[in-house]
Chain A
Amino acid sequence: MDIYSPKTHKDKVPLVEGIRAGFPSPAEDFADPTLDLNRYVIKNPASTFYARITGDSMEGAGISDGDIVVIDKSLEPKDGSIAVCFIDGEFTLKRIKLEKGKLLLMPANPKFHPIEITEENHFVVWGIVTYIIKELKGS
């Protein structure tokens, strides 16, 4: 069985090649690959995933409806991490708060309430958010 996955930043051809007919371009020897956002945003390609956010409970943390978050599953959750959590059958984005042996999921919007995780919840931290991709409307 052969499996393919889409190419990301490999096999990029520098654009200076076409000038060969005239003078050799002095820049040709220095053609470095263009800045690659993947290399900036993705520290661990094997454990990096993306998710699209619906809803505004994390508005105060700068994460709005329609934004895309970059998630690294290899990071351990810490107090204050913004995490994609799976709780009782649903994915949700919240800030993790550890307080006196309690685990709380904190919204960043006064309209929402904190959720306390107890043994009765089916709960896992799916991954830690490392970046937000936000399109500026009207730009």
Chain B
Amino acid sequence: MGCIMYGLADCNNFFVSCERVFRPDLNGRPVIILSNNDGCVISRSNEAKRIGIKMGQPFYQLKQMIQRYDVTVFSSNYVLYGDMSKRVQMTLQSLVPATEVYSIDESFLDLRGIEDVKLDDFGHHISYVVQRNTGIPISVGIAPTKTLAKIASKLCKQYPKLRGSCFMHRPEDIEKVLKKFPIEDVWGIGRRFSAMLKSRSINTAYDFTQMPMNLVQSLMHVGGVKTWRELRGEPCVEFEEQSKDKQQITVSRSFSKELADADDVRQQVALFTSMAAEKLRKQGSVCHEVMVFLLTNRHREDKPQQFANRLIRLPVATDSTLELVNVASNTAAELVQEPYEYKKAGVILSDITPKSAMQTVLFDEVDHEKQDRLMSALDAINKKQGARSVVVASAGFEGVRMNREHLSPNYTTEWGEILEVKG
């Protein structure tokens, strides 16, 4: 028999694993990675999990623990993680007919055409080759649906005995696993629905599959029914081979210190916007909407808190840094209010369409052709001279000053920072 099987390859504690490739001395030791600006924990080694460090925990709360357990701390090095992610994806692509990159550390695998009897060995082979070629340990889950494949890969992490791959296909095995699998960990359930389900005594994935379909439909609509079906072994989430253009581009960062002045905020938002606009042009798209948001520091309970945001609809879709920066930075300056001090800001470009399909308005006042030439020149210079050599004046010249006190070398992207080996 040959029903279609879905695979999920998920890198274990990915950011920590990336650092460990170049620091094998850290294997078996507690390691954590901090978010942008060294704010909070975003990746933990198993040893760090074991001593009780929580995901999202603010760094300042951990100082004692770090000393006591000799925890190694890294600032996030997205250049390194991005490069390692690409290597994992390339390796996966060389092993299976097609992959769908789901996130920086997860890819779905198309396993059509591979006989069921071989899938168990094949999963282990994938896991072995990725670890050998890139140094990154992964967990491969193989099952009749994507949702079940995700659960299978989580099992590998819980049970080292599975040696990095779990092929879960017999209905009786699936049932056994689902009976122990917490509902809140099921892909697509989310925090809100899991709270609602728990209040109805639906605690495991299995409990959920036993609900009547029309009840799921009325409580959770189409999305819930999809998950319900997938858990019952009926594939509903298709395999998406083509990486679609992003429907939304977000650039957001924390500032190194709280900002209260409208001009300071304007400058930062201008910089984020120019980064977002560059991404937009890179994928050959234009956007119709710009959203700007500002956030105060929620860990400062002694200070007034605010989340301010505004969505602006542009008369004509654009990919121009000048137009977007202008709109976004003015909006940001207007959003700034006393007495708030802002810790984070972001820009979201949305309603994105391909540039080729762009419709123009008869009375558009912007000379788009001229702007296009300017933008290509700007991208070309930034590419050649290093990112952000040329910026729109309001973006300022210092860039985002980020706190990254524990940054590792860019082992794979900077000649000056490659590994040193004693000969």
Contacts and interface: CB of A to CB of B under 8 A. Distances in A.
Nearest to A85: B421
A54 B24 contact: no
B258 interface: no
Interface string A93-137: 100000000000000000000000000000010100000000000
Contact of B420 (A47, A52, A58, A124): A52
Interface stretch (B57-65, B128-136, B150-158, B338-346): B128-136
Contacts of B422: 53-55, 57, 90-93
B419 A52 contact: yes
Contacts of B104: 1, 3
Pick the most buried of A1, A7, A56: most chain B CB atoms within 10 A of its CB: A1
A51 interface: yes
Interface in A45-64: 45-47, 49-58, 63-64
Given A3-B104, A5-B79, A73-B132, A91 B420 contact: yes
Contacts of A3: 78, 81-82, 85, 104
B283 to A, nearest CB: 10
Pick the most buried of A3, A56, A64: most chain B CB atoms within 10 A of its CB: A3
A84 B421 contact: yes
B389 interface: no
B239 interface: no
A126 B133 CA distance: 10
Interface string B132-152: 111100000000000000000
A111 to B, nearest CB: 12
B221 interface: no
B361 to A, nearest CB: 30
Contacts of B91: 46-47
Contacts of A57: 422-423
Contacts of B88: 46
Contacts of B374: none
Interface stretch (B164-172, B179-187, B222-230, B410-418): B410-418
Contact of A69 (B25, B246, B421): B421
A49 B249 CA distance: 31
Interface size classification for chain B? 35 or more
Interface in A66-84: 67-69, 73-74, 84
Describe B's contact surface by its main secondary structure: helix
B420 A44 contact: no
A57 B421 CA distance: 11
B413 A5 contact: yes
Interface size classification for chain A? 35 or more
A23 interface: no
A2 interface: yes
Contact of B133 (A1, A5, A74, A93): A74
Interface in B54-78: 78
A4 interface: yes
A65 B104 CA distance: 37
B418 A68 contact: yes
A124 B421 contact: no
Contacts of A7: 383
B87 interface: yes
A45 B90 contact: yes
Interface in B381-423: 383, 411-413, 415, 418-423
A93 B86 contact: no
A89 interface: yes
A84 B421 CA distance: 7
B94 interface: yes
Contacts of B423: 53-58, 63-65, 67, 92-93
A10 to B, nearest CB: 11
A89 B24 CA distance: 7
Nearest to A84: B421
B124 interface: no
A14 B263 CA distance: 44
Nearest to B130: A46
Interface in B300-353: none
21 contacts: A2-B246, A2-B279, A3-B82, A4-B79, A5-B86, A46-B86, A46-B88, A47-B91, A52-B419, A53-B421, A53-B422, A53-B423, A54-B420, A54-B421, A55-B423, A63-B423, A73-B133, A89-B25, A92-B421, A93-B421, A126-B24
Given A45-B90, A46-B90, A91-B419, 18 more contacts: A1-B78, A2-B246, A3-B104, A4-B79, A4-B82, A5-B79, A5-B83, A5-B86, A50-B415, A51-B421, A52-B420, A54-B420, A74-B133, A86-B25, A92-B422, A92-B423, A93-B423, A126-B135
Interface of A: 1-7, 44-47, 49-58, 63-65, 67-69, 73-74, 84, 86, 89-93, 124, 126
Interface of B: 24-25, 78-79, 81-83, 85-88, 90-91, 94, 103-104, 129, 132-135, 246, 249, 279, 383, 411-413, 415, 418-423
What are the 6 A-B residue pairs with the smallest beta carbon separation, nearest first?
A: A3-B82, A47-B133, A46-B90, A53-B423, A51-B419, A46-B87
